[in-house]
A and B are shown apart, each in its own frame.
Chain A
Amino acid sequence: MGALIAVRARGITKCFGDVVALDGIDLDVAPAQIHGLVGPNGAGKTTLLGLLLGLAVADSGRLEILGTPVRRALAAPDCVAGFVDGPGLYPSLTARQNLAALAALRGRDARTAGIDDVLDQVGLTDVADDRAHGFSLGMRQRLGLAAALLTKPRLLVLDEPSNGLDPTGKRHVHSVLTRLATDGTSVVLSSHRMDDVEALCSEVTIVATGRVVFSGPLSKLAAENRELDYRLHTSDPRAARRLAVDTAGIRLVDDGARHQAEVLVVRALVPALDELVVRLVHADIAVRELAPVVSPLEAAFLALTEQQEAGR
């Protein structure tokens, strides 16, 4: 028997009164994969994550989590953890007490539940005995993640886990999620920060108005995408500009305004961009920076969701 798929959703529909939150959603999350869920506000991301956590049940469709069909609310498997709409913490308790209370709720001894270990993983050891009342949003997010880790989940569901994180906190969270995936845990996370999704996720699902508009690897998303704008900084901007103009499939963006600029902005598909780089190298022009002005995921996200909105 092969590895069980972590999440298999087919035709999931969920309505709240007259509002259709999810409209025939399909979702597959492989084991040991960090899967990003992106979409505009009100797209249905939180509703979908809530279904994965077992907070609600779909009106129609089929949902299997870790091989177990989920047919009613609060019937998700035991090894699913996470949070939606922010972590549930009690401000009058310290970070350690919050985790100890959760451990006790699950019948585990606070001394052997690994509280110190998970606090260390999310970088909250120094404030373990401080009341959560004074925690910043980022610290609360990390404590929420620690609470989820305490259950040793096989599927971790996180809603906007990067909200409010400073660079150190972000590094802790990324490190934890990457390690979890390496150890076999599947992670589904929603985020509005495309850099996070690109850094963490191997696959992504884009949702708009309750429907999936894309699902698959990030590389596939980039390949399917239209031309992107790239910033090009070279050792010889004039020569680079001439080469760019001569290369098929390359267009200079806002050429008049940037004629004397050190940095070029070019619009191209990836193959044409590759050709331009080869030409620059052959002409002994050093490439100091080549980066998309807008990330491929963000560009794809904007394009796909705009199409979806336009099609309504």
Chain B
Amino acid sequence: MTATIAHDHAAVARPVSVARGYRFELVKLISQWRIRLLVLACWIAPALFVAAVSQQSSLPVDTLFGRWMHATGWAGPLVMLGFAGTWALPLLTSVVAGDVFAFEDRLGTWRHLLVAVRSPRRIFAAKALASLTVILLLVAGLALSSAAGGVVAVGNQPLVGLDGHLLTPSDAAGKVLLAWVCVLAPTLALAAIGLLGSVVLGRSPMGLLLPALVALALQLAQMLPLPVAVRLALPGYAFIAWNGLFTSPTQLGPLLIGIVVSLVWAGTATALAYLLFLRRDFTDLTYDGSARRAVAAGVLPLVGLVAVTVAVVAAATATTTGSGIERDKVQRSVATAFARLYRLQTKQLNRPDVTEAQLKATATCNRGGGNVAAQGPGNDWRCVISWHLPDVEAAGTAIYQLDVTADGRFVADGDGPKEVNGYFLVRTPIGDAPNPLWQFDGNVELLPTAPKG
């Protein structure tokens, strides 16, 4: 005997909407203890770190803006940004985007998910959007927490830029926020590489590690004396190029190129991950990725993308070979930073203010005592700065040893005279204070520039 059931033909199920799938993926992500732990850590730890470091007598001077952490709360989030670009963001993207597909492989839930959602396309979109949301939440935590920690612990003071110019607190806040927004582009590129690794490599741990490994490789590449066009065409360059926001005028060219390249990488890697995901056979529960497919559909297109972006950047910037670090640029950069910091020192010492135009600071630089061509990165740069004071006939001179790295950053270390740049303290009317001319960071713009003024 059979019971009678409804006689109508059953309608074919419609796929679940992306919005519902997105919420489902968010619930799954947020329910994982490691994601919760990361969210907590990103929203609390930076504030504590910045506040604690700002109270120390020894500052992280090898990190950009680290030497200004006593002076302003806005240096803290920039120190954190430098750390995040090197370690935190690649690891965060690994844990979130690098695992978002492999997670289902480990649990063996693909069939369940497919039956529930009924559209691999929408599953991909929902997973990509959910992982993006979590990554944005983590990045926002790093930025806001470190800024709050700095401002609360040190105060809302002006920030000294990379070329010595002073940013008002509101300018500094805006630039700090903008710098964090800019590094979202390379973060997205790493996240997309994470999605690709997660799709291609399945349960293999390599999928999880891929963004971190790619980030490490990109950082190593940036340390090499690569041609400028290659350096700018790598997707991690925006992790460095935000430095250009803290010069006057801002060095927007490299930053914009870095952002565009990163976004192209994000789009390409996401598209590759999408295509590979749609082709995947979900009936194989032991899927651990395919090495051949990983190379053919993952690595080769991205290698091709590097070649294309190098060619485009080279054509757009009229640079093909060379490090972009040349004597004229180094001299201009050092002289500009010196003049601006000299004014800061003058103010500290309660002396009459002088303008940069009055100082007419110039630098004469060489490498290796003049025995090496004055170009490219190296720690053997030596610059002699000359400047003039109003109503003083003789020019002042000061010597700096420069360590210029391949990405254009330099640290200028004062070599005397003692009363100008030879000692780390200056005696001010209210007591000893850090000498801004003793050591300072600077930045050489790698793209061709015309001399200003």
Contact = CB atoms under 8 A, between A and B. Distances in A.
Interface of A: 1-4, 16, 30-33, 47, 50, 53-56, 65-68, 74-93, 97, 101-102, 104-107, 154, 181-186
B112 A3 contact: no
B283 A50 contact: yes
B13 A83 contact: no
B20 to A, nearest CB: 5
Contacts of B282: 55
19 contacts: A31-B5, A32-B2, A32-B3, A50-B283, A53-B115, A68-B11, A74-B15, A77-B10, A77-B12, A79-B10, A86-B108, A88-B110, A90-B28, A92-B33, A104-B23, A105-B21, A105-B117, A154-B10, A186-B5
A185 B13 CA distance: 18
B24 A105 contact: yes
A54 B7 CA distance: 21
A54 B111 CA distance: 10
B31 A31 contact: no
Nearest to B9: A67
Given A74-B15, A90-B28, 8 more contacts: A33-B2, A67-B9, A77-B11, A77-B13, A79-B10, A82-B115, A87-B112, A97-B27
A55 B114 contact: yes
Interface in B267-314: 282-283, 285
A298 B28 CA distance: 42
Contacts of A3: 2, 4-5, 7
B32 A92 contact: yes
Contact of B10 (A50, A74, A78, A102): A78
A32 B107 CA distance: 33
B119 interface: yes
Contacts of A32: 2-5
Q: What 5 pairs across the A-B complex have the smallest Cβ distances?
A: A88-B112, A77-B10, A78-B13, A66-B10, A184-B5
Contacts of A80: 10, 13
Contacts of A79: 10
A53 B283 CA distance: 12
Contact of A88 (B4, B17, B107): B107
A19 to B, nearest CB: 11
B178 interface: no
B10 A67 contact: yes
A4 B388 CA distance: 99
Contacts of B9: 4, 66-68
A179 to B, nearest CB: 12
B111 A74 contact: no
A102 B283 contact: no
A68 B283 contact: no
B16 interface: yes
B28 A54 contact: no
A74 B5 contact: no
Contacts of B20: 104-107
A165 B24 CA distance: 29
A74 B31 contact: no
A132 B129 CA distance: 26
Nearest to A14: B283
Listed residue (B17, B20, B115, B119) with the most chain A CB atoms within 10 angstroms of its CB:
B115
Interface in B1-60: 2-17, 20-21, 23-24, 27-28, 31-33
A31 B2 contact: yes
Nearest to B30: A92
Nearest to B118: A74
Interface residues of B, number: 42
A184 B10 contact: no
Contacts of A33: 2
Contacts of A30: 2
Contacts of B27: 93, 97, 101, 104
A266 B11 CA distance: 54
Contact of B4 (A67, A82, A89, A184): A184
Contacts of B119: 74
Contacts of A101: 24, 27-28
Nearest to A81: B115
B209 to A, nearest CB: 22
B109 interface: yes
A1 B16 contact: no
B285 A85 contact: yes
A243 B32 CA distance: 69
A84 B13 contact: no
A92 B4 contact: no
Contact of A92 (B28, B112, B285): B28
Contacts of A47: 283
B26 to A, nearest CB: 10
A33 B3 CA distance: 9
Contacts of B136: none
Contact of B24 (A4, A104, A184): A104
B152 interface: no
B113 interface: yes
Given A68-B9, A84-B111, A93-B31, A16 B116 contact: no
Contact of A154 (B5, B108, B115, B285): B5
Contacts of B118: 54, 74-75
Given A68-B12, A88-B112, A56 B283 contact: yes
B28 to A, nearest CB: 6
Contacts of A4: 5, 7-9
Contacts of A84: 111
A180 B21 CA distance: 29
A33 B118 CA distance: 26
Contacts of A92: 28, 31-33
A3 B119 CA distance: 30
B10 A68 contact: yes
Contacts of A107: 16-17, 20
Given A68-B11, A101-B28, A184 B112 contact: no
B16 A106 contact: yes
A102 B116 contact: yes
A105 B16 contact: yes
Contacts of B32: 92
Nearest to A90: B28
A16 B286 CA distance: 14
Contacts of A182: 3
A154 B14 CA distance: 16
Contact of B109 (A2, A78, A89): A89
